[in-house]
Structure 1
Amino acid sequence: MKKIYFIIALFSSVLLHSQERYFINSDTRLYTAANTSNFLGYFKYGAEVRLLSENQKGWYKVQADNFNEGYIPSKFISESLNSDDIKTTDKENPIIFGGDNYHGSNHLFVLVAGLKARALPDKNSKIREVLFTGDAVTLNYFPKNEDEWVNIAGSFNEEYAKFTLRKFLGKRPDLNVLIKNFDKLDVNNITERKTISERIVELAWNSDSTTLIPAYERYYEVVKQLNDPKLLAETELNIALVKALAKSKKPEEIFAFSKKAEFLLKGIKTKSLYLSQTNLVKTLGKPTKKAKVDDGCGIYLSDLFYYYPDLEVSVDEAKNQAQIVKVFINENNKFIINPSVVLDNTLSEKAFIEKYGTYIQASLKSPHYYSIFIMDDSQFILQFKDGKLFCVEIFIDC
């Protein structure tokens, strides 16, 4: 009977440790056993671990955030982190500590193009994000084996955990080195030229905007060799985009361009991004749906939203006010940036970029979405679908 009680007590203790949060208070390693120099990977200060055992003569068995299990000296385990922690630096630890010009936490960089981050350390699990060459990713534990998985969410939280293979992460790639490597390749080595040119383009988007045009020039060489009509059209659109971005207007010019923006809804000008609830209902009728939306920031008039087939608005019924949130552009609705710039559903994406590309912000990660700042904390997001203007959303920072 005593043996049964002992097993239950031990199980309860391990379960308790696995549920509480413990942190690494200095650089250390995940060892294969207590009192050995053999190790599985590197921990950086601030890493979270799960305790799997009681203190065993100065060692704990722990689980890293990628589910590797091993041992750590007990002196490196804390229930909390403090500003006066004495951080011992492991010079062989490849993880970059703290902030730099690219990231504010412990991190490394993506080395390849189109890297999939998954919900579990399994190549068949759900894709949570697609990462680009040069993206900085948070990590606190880095396994020694390059075929191991790495948790790039920096915590055990299953809702946010993201995993990718260790071999695709490292020091930030050098754009000039990639370009030199590309230029050395035989012109007929299309496969390798495609691989490197994709990395060059993605890294250029993660670098100075002046690098985008030369990056796309090389990529376009390969695209023409592949002779894929869809890829050709997409690349030519992106070339037009990066040429416009290279001539971006100053913030004050962009604000002046967009400050008088309004919408034309069923032939009626809103005269601003606001209108009365009375005029809204008079123009569009009763909404097809009403719903409460808590944005968590209080950036809209109220948490009551009216939904129409081609319009979303935040409405304060007591004050008789309505704030436009999203407008779908169609034969009834137009976006008037200023009296001389009226955008409708016949506007092509290419024409928009060629005419107004110097006023926009764009990202390779959000293709066919373009932002025009109204002021420092708010912007219009224009979405194009099937080559035509589809909708305009007003986005306000928290």
Structure 2
Amino acid sequence: MKKYCFLLALLFCSVLLHSQDRYFLNSDTRLYTSKSTSGDFLGYFKYGAEVRLLSENENGWYKVKADNLSEGYVPEKFIAERLNAKDVQIKDSENPIIEGGDAYYGGNHLFVLVAGLKARAQPDKNSKTREILYTGDPVAVNYLPKNPDEWVNIYGRIDDEYAQFTLRKFIGKRPDFNALVKDFDKLDVSNSTERKTIGERIVELAWNSDKTTLTPAYQRYYEVVKQLNDPKLLADTELNMAIAKGLSKHKKPEEITAFTKKVEFILKGTKTKSLYFTQKDLVKIFGKPSKKATVSDECGIYLSELFYYYPDLVASVDENKNQAEITKVFINENNKVVFNANALLDNTLSEKTFIEKYGTYIGASIKAPHFYSIQLEDSEFTIEFRDGKLFTVEIIFYC
């Protein structure tokens, strides 16, 4: 009988612990190694951090698991099933995590300190890479361990499907561009390894800063690249320098609108000033599509969720209303984009020439190399190059 009651008690505790999967901290606090605020601690929690309970309330303390899988104790008064606007937060002046509301991120966060940081699916250097992060990127942080060699969950929530981990030593306060430049300039010219490391950080931080910093960043990095004598790296850097030059002299919105105002397509020899066809004309010109598919359109920005796929283009089609809208064009000898008499985008256009001619009109990102955007009134062209040649022009409508 006693054994039966004991098993029932265990079952009750288990149900109690798991009836609410998500718990939050309603104040700054720390993850303690024991049930005492005067004892040692493993790391810092920020208001809103998610935890999992590992025990019942024990004299005002819960044993919890943090989002980086570390286990320890927090005071019971800071555990909540939900957050509330009336929460009275106790600030921890020693907590290094930055609160939301700055110019870079809305929630609790820190910044990437190194170039090309791999965010892992598990707290293990051998686990798969979920994302590549760049110097100056803000990352969500709700729990930060003290040990620089411990892992941090930079997704900010306990969700195995989406969690991303990196080591504590690779994130911190936002790097200072001018300080990095000074560090670079102090290095001996012969120290190409360290100069490359800092040069990469300078370049990535410049992409995350005022675009006017891109040119001085690449000027320094280019010095190192020439030393390394890597043909591909040299070509990529020269292309990026041309992009940086264009972005530093970026056209005003009204100038870009004027540039795109009279854009027209030449599709399979047919000139059209509009992206719109009747469904019947689309089939008459391009034939039956090689594939039809339904694509979710939560914003309602396309004519229909039904898409026709051709070797030359993609179109959103409303068969009932006899309407079709071109959304993507593959550039080849039959398909071209014409902005004006002096601005023709066809299959002979190289990426380098495109940048040199139109670099002041485009948007670009280090995170999407060889993809560029040109703003329209309520949409934009996304222009992709492959192997140095123009590949596609896609029309992206804003939600």
TM-score by shorter chain over 0.5: yes
What's the CA shift string for 1:188-222, capped at 9, x where partnerless? 00100000000000011111111111000000000
Q: Is the 8 A contact 1:114 1:130 kept in 2?
A: yes
Q: Displacement, 1:259?
A: 2.6
What's the CA shift string for 1:8-31, capped at 9, x where partnerless? 543553465355211000000001
Q: Which runs of 5+ in 1 are unaligned?
A: none
What's the CA shift string for 1:87-121, capped at 9, x where partnerless? 11101100001210111110000000000001111
Q: Which of 338, 353, 356 in structure 2 is aligned with 1:354? A: 356
**2:383 paired residue number:** 382
Query: Secondary structure at 2:376's aligned position in 1?
Result: strand
**2:143 paired residue number:** 141
Q: Displacement, 1:297?
A: 1.3
Q: Displacement, 1:325?
A: 1.2
Q: Which of 208, 211, 229 in structure 1 is aligned with 2:210? A: 208
Q: Displacement, 1:35?
A: 1.8
Q: Which amino acid aligns with 1:17?
A: L
Aligned 1:1-398 pairs, distance under 5 A: 1-7=1-7, 9-10=9-10, 13-14=13-14, 17-18=17-18, 20-36=21-37, 37-375=39-377, 377-398=378-399
Q: Displacement, 1:397?
A: 2.4
Indicate how the Cα distance of structure 1 residues 343 and 39 shifts in structure 2: closer, same or farther if over 3 A, else same: same
Query: Secondary structure at 1:358's aligned position in 2?
Result: coil
| Cα distance in 1, alignment partners of residues 178 and 337 from structure 2 | 42
What's the CA shift string for 1:52-101, capped at 9, x where partnerless? 11111100111111111111000001111111111111011000012101
Indicate how the Cα distance of structure 1 residues 308 and 12 shifts in structure 2: closer, same or farther if over 3 A, else same: farther
Indicate how the Cα distance of structure 1 residues 215 and 81 shifts in structure 2: closer, same or farther if over 3 A, else same: same
TM-score, length basis structure 1: 0.97
What's the CA shift string for 1:290-349, capped at 9, x where partnerless? 111112211110111111122111001111111111111111211122343221111000
Q: Is the 8 A contact 1:223 1:232 kept in 2?
A: yes
Stretches (4+) displaced over 4 A: none
Indicate how the Cα distance of structure 1 residues 144 and 319 shifts in structure 2: closer, same or farther if over 3 A, else same: same
Q: Which amino acid aligns with 1:2?
A: K
| Cα distance in 2, alignment partners of residues 300 and 13 from structure 1 | 52
Q: Which runs of 5+ in 2 are unaligned?
A: none
More displaced, 13-22 or 350-359? 13-22
Q: Is the 8 A contact 1:277 1:322 kept in 2?
A: yes
Q: Is the 8 A contact 1:178 1:200 kept in 2?
A: yes
| Cα distance in 2, alignment partners of residues 145 and 261 from structure 1 | 56
Q: Is the 8 A contact 1:14 1:51 kept in 2?
A: no
Q: Which amino acid aligns with 2:300?
A: G
Q: Displacement, 1:261?
A: 2.1
How many aligned residue pairs are there?
Answer: 397
Query: Secondary structure at 2:232's aligned position in 1?
Result: helix
Instruction: Please report the RMSD computed on the Cα atoms of aligned residues, expressed in angstroms.
Output: 1.4
Query: Secondary structure at 1:254's aligned position in 2?
Result: helix
Q: Which amino acid aligns with 1:34?
A: K
